[in-house]
Every structure is written in structure tokens, then in C-alpha cells.
Structure 1
Amino acid sequence: MPDLEVRIDEKRFGDAVILRDLTFSAQCGEFLALVGPSGVGKSTLLNLIAGLDPLFDGSIHWHGAPLHRHAHSPERLGMMFQEPRLMPWLSALDNVRLVLADPAAESERARTLLQEVGLGHALDAWPNQLSGGMQRRVALARAFAVDPRLLLMDEPFVSLDMPTGNRLRESLLALWQRDRPLVLFVTHDLREALALADRVLFLSEPPARIMLDYVVPLERPRNLEGTAIAKLQERLFSRHPSLLSGALEAPSVRHDT
């Protein structure tokens, strides 16, 4: 039985239908990337899975329990957004401690996570003393502080320069491979998706559904800037030229390897 089962019959905002007939399932330990055009509903989908928005037709189950009822969020849920969302009046350490059930007793976990993402020297720094990349590292440590079983990431490394982004991706993969949560990672960058994920779910244009569930055939570790990723991306585009535009090429397009 899958750990996560998602069936969105329909999600709308007013008269606009955002998601329709969108279904997929996943197991703990998997890393899934969600790719699709801007405004297609990727962030909306994450909010539904997080239990933040119960207003849709369908069902979402986590370990067999429904998340589609009001105020039902998964236990041990981690989230990371496009912006770090740090509390400016708290130090880096206290921003991580903030999500812990017992900050005093679990303080060492927060320290260890910040050290693991390369911020052991900046535990007492205020957010405005940290660069954008360093703030994202604090947010990454905070996302893993709850020892998540489900981790939702909404374009967490967008707008970063390549070296900074690569360091964060390496930190993310190291933490994920150690703790093995189920990760749902939204990105517009197909190379990033292919470098990080076990599976890439391509969303169609609105009303969005999964038009391709692609199993990444490359072994780890992978180099985002390497030739293997470039060749795989080229092969995907040769088979499915309209993938990133969200244009459905055929009703039968569902799975690929």
C-alpha cells in the first residue's frame, strides 16, 4: 500500500478549474519532483497535500489516514518555500529550534543540523546578517528538524546562483539519503529535477493533471551540469517535445523510463 495516495478530482478557485483528474501515489524514501508551466497549480497541490486547503473534490491519504478533512495535516511534516521565511528577531539557531516540540531538550539536534548544512559558525547570527544562500540553509535545517516523514519543497533554491544552489542541493540529498523522508519537490528547472529525483511528475496545462510519470534511470550521485543529465534531458525532449509547456501530446501518455 502506498504511503501517500493523491486523487484530485477537481480543485477550483472561483470559476477557474486549477486541477482535475490528477492522481499519483508514492512511498516513503522516494524523491519526487513536480514540473510544469508557471501557474499550473504546483504550489496549490502542495498546499492540498499539507492539509492547508480542504476545499477540493477528491481525497488524499497519508499512511491510510485522510488529509482532505479540515485541519488534518500529516504528522512529522516538513516544508520549505521559495522564501526562507525566517523570523528576523530570532537567531539562526532559534529559527531552527522554533519548530521543535521541546526546544530546550532538542537543542542539540538544531545545532547538529546547522553544522551539517555548513552553518556551525553562524548559530547566533541574525537573519539580516546572513546571505540569501545562508538563509536558505537555515530553512533547510529547519525543514529537517522535525525528522520529517513527508517533506514538501516549493522551489526552495530558485534564484540562487549555480554554486550556491549546488551546495544546497548536496546538503538536501545528504540529509534525505540519511533520513529517507518522502520528498515532493517543485521546480521549473528540468535539469534540477533530473539531478535530484527518483521520479519526475510532469503536470499538464490547466486544468492540470499528471501527463507523464517519469522514472529517472540514472544512478546517484548525479552532476546537474554533467553530460548525463544533458543527454537525458535531450532524450526526453525528443520523445515529448511539449513537456515543459504542459501540452498533452496523447491521452495515453502516463509513464516512461
Structure 2
Amino acid sequence: MPDLDVRIDEKRFGEAVILRDLTFSAQRGEFLALVGPSGVGKSTLLHLIAGLDTHFDGSVHWHGTPLHHHPQAPKSLGMMFQEPRLMPWLSALDNVRLVLSGTEAEGDRARMLLQEVGLGHALDAWPNQLSGGMQRRVALARAFAVAPRLLLMDEPFVSLDMPTGNRLRESLLELWRRDRPLVLFVTHDLREALALADRVLFMSEPPARIILDYVVPLERPRQLEGTAIAKLQEQLFAHHPDLLSGALDAPSESRDKP
């Protein structure tokens, strides 16, 4: 039985059908990336899985328990968005503590996480004293503070310069390897997806569904700018030239490899 089982029969915004017949499953410890054209509903899908939006036909289950009902949402659900969403009146440390109960042990965990993402020197800094990359590091530490079993990430490193983004990706993978949550990571960058994920789920144009569930065949560690990622991307485009536009040019089975 999969740890996460997603079945979206239909999701609408008014008359517009955004998602239809979208299904996939995953196990705890997997790292999945969601890729597709802009505006196809990747963020919407994360909101449905998180229970932030329950107005859809279908179901989302974690260990057999429905996540599409607010009372059933697990406490061990972590989220990280495109924007850091830090409280400007709280220090970096207090922004991480915000999702915790306030015990001394959890305060120590917050400090440890900030040290692990390279912010041990900035525990008392206000958000407006931190660079954009540093604010994302605080948000990353906060996402892991609850020891998530399921972590939803909505383009968390978008618009960052390459060195800063790479440092954050390394921090993410280090925390993931240690805690082994199931990660669903939305990105518009195929190279980022191939560098981070075990599986890449490609979404079609709306009404969106999963058109390819692709197992990344590369061993870890992987370099985003390395030749192996570039070659793998070329192979994908050779087999499916319209994949990133939300179209699949030839029939393909789930868990496909080129």
C-alpha cells in the first residue's frame, strides 16, 4: 500500500477545469518533482494535497487516512512556498520556533536546523536584515522543524542566482537524506528536477493529468550543471520533444526511462 495516494477526478475554478483524471502514488522517503507548463495547476495540486483546498472531486490519502479533510491533516506535514513568508517582527530563530510548541528541546532543534543551513551566526537577525537566499534558508529550516513525513515545496528556489540556489539544494538534500520525508517538489526547471528527484511527474496542459512518471536513472550525488544531467535532458527531449509543453508525442508507460 502506498504511503501517499492521490486521485483527482476533477478540480475546477468556476467553469475552468484545471485538473482531471490525475493520479499517482508514492512512498515515504521518495523525492518527487512535479514539472509542467506554467499555469497547469502544479501549485493547485499541492494545495489539494495539503488540505488547503477541499473543493474538488477525488481523494488524497496518507497511510489510508484522508488528507482532503482539514481535521485529518497530519501534524507532520511541512510546506515551503515560492516566497519565504517570514514574520517580519520575529527573529530568524523565532520564525523557525513559530511552528513548534515552544519546549526547550524544540528550541534546540530550531537552533540546530539554522546551523545546518548555515545561519548559526544569524539566529537573532530580523528578516529585513537577511538576503533573499538567507530568508529561504530560514524557510527551509522551518519546513523541517516539524520533522515532516510529507514535505510539499512550491518552487522554493525560483529566481535565486545559481550559487545561492545550489547551496540551498545541497542543504535540502542533506536534510532529506537524514529525515527521509516524502518530498513533492514543484519546479519549472527540468535540470533541477533531474538533479534532485527520484521520480519526475510531468503534467499536461489543462485539464492537467500526469502524462509521464519518469524514474531518474542517475546515482547520487548529481551536479545540476554536470554533463550527466545535460545528457539525460537531451535524451528526454529526443524521445519526447513536446514534453515540457504538456504534450506527449508517443505512448509511454508509467515509470518510463528513455
Structure 2 residue identity aligned to 1:35: V
Give runs of aligned pairs for residues 59-78 of structure 1, distance below 5 A.
59-78=59-78
Provide the rounded CA distance (Å) in 1 between the counterparts of 2:255 and 2:239: 12
User: How far does residue 252 in structure 1 lie from its aligned partner after superposition?
Assistant: 4.9
Cα deviation code 1:129-151 (max 9, x no counterpart)? 00000000000000000000000
| Pairwise CA RMSD | 1.1
Give runs of aligned pairs for residues 214-233 of structure 1, distance below 5 A.
214-233=214-233
**TM-score normalised to structure 2 length:** 0.97
Provide the rounded CA distance (Å) in 2 between the counterparts of 1:90 and 1:104: 18
Q: Secondary structure at the match of 1:256?
A: coil
Structure 2 residue identity aligned to 1:137: R
Partner of 1:44: 44
Provide the rounded CA distance (Å) in 1 between the counterparts of 2:248 and 2:63: 31
Provide the rounded CA distance (Å) in 1 between the counterparts of 2:52 and 2:7: 16
Provide the rounded CA distance (Å) in 1 between the counterparts of 2:5 and 2:228: 31
Shift in alpha-carbon separation, 1:26–1:166, aligned structure 2, 3 A: same
Structure 2 residue identity aligned to 1:27: Q
Provide the rounded CA distance (Å) in 2 between the counterparts of 1:71 and 1:43: 22
Runs of 4+ in 1 over 3 A off after TM superposition: 250-255
User: How far does residue 247 in structure 1 lie from its aligned partner after superposition?
Assistant: 1.6
Give runs of aligned pairs for residues 100-111 of structure 1, distance below 5 A.
100-111=100-111
User: How far does residue 106 in structure 1 lie from its aligned partner after superposition?
Assistant: 1.2
Say whether the 8 Å CA contact 2:30–2:180 is kept in structure 1.
Answer: yes
Partner of 1:151: 151
Cα deviation code 1:32-66 (max 9, x no counterpart)? 00000110000000000001111110111001101
Partner of 1:204: 204
Structure 1 residue identity aligned to 2:20: R
1:87 aligns with 2:87: yes
Say whether the 8 Å CA contact 1:33–1:201 is kept in structure 2.
Answer: yes
Provide the rounded CA distance (Å) in 2 between the counterparts of 1:213 and 1:74: 26
Provide the rounded CA distance (Å) in 2 between the counterparts of 1:103 and 1:233: 46
Say whether the 8 Å CA contact 1:210–1:254 is kept in structure 2.
Answer: no
1:134 aligns with 2:142: no
Give runs of aligned pairs for residues 5-16 of structure 1, distance below 5 A.
5-16=5-16
User: How far does residue 101 in structure 1 lie from its aligned partner after superposition?
Assistant: 2.1
Cα deviation code 1:192-245 (max 9, x no counterpart)? 000000000000000000000000000000000000000000000000001110
Q: How many residues align?
A: 257
Provide the rounded CA distance (Å) in 2 between the counterparts of 1:238 and 1:106: 49
Partner of 1:175: 175
Partner of 2:114: 114
Provide the rounded CA distance (Å) in 2 between the counterparts of 1:250 and 1:101: 51
**TM-score normalised to structure 1 length:** 0.98
Say whether the 8 Å CA contact 1:52–1:73 is kept in structure 2.
Answer: no
User: How far does residue 73 in structure 1 lie from its aligned partner after superposition?
Assistant: 1.6
Provide the rounded CA distance (Å) in 2 between the counterparts of 1:152 and 1:21: 21
Q: Secondary structure at the match of 2:43?
A: helix
Partner of 1:248: 248
Shift in alpha-carbon separation, 1:137–1:70, aligned structure 2, 3 A: closer
Say whether the 8 Å CA contact 1:51–1:71 is kept in structure 2.
Answer: no
Provide the rounded CA distance (Å) in 2 between the counterparts of 1:128 and 1:156: 19
Say whether the 8 Å CA contact 1:200–1:213 is kept in structure 2.
Answer: yes
Say whether the 8 Å CA contact 2:240–2:250 is kept in structure 1.
Answer: no
Shift in alpha-carbon separation, 1:133–1:103, aligned structure 2, 3 A: farther
Structure 2 residue identity aligned to 1:145: A
Say whether the 8 Å CA contact 1:51–1:74 is kept in structure 2.
Answer: no
Unpaired segments ≥5 residues, structure 1: none
Say whether the 8 Å CA contact 1:97–1:103 is kept in structure 2.
Answer: no
Provide the rounded CA distance (Å) in 2 between the counterparts of 1:53 and 1:236: 33
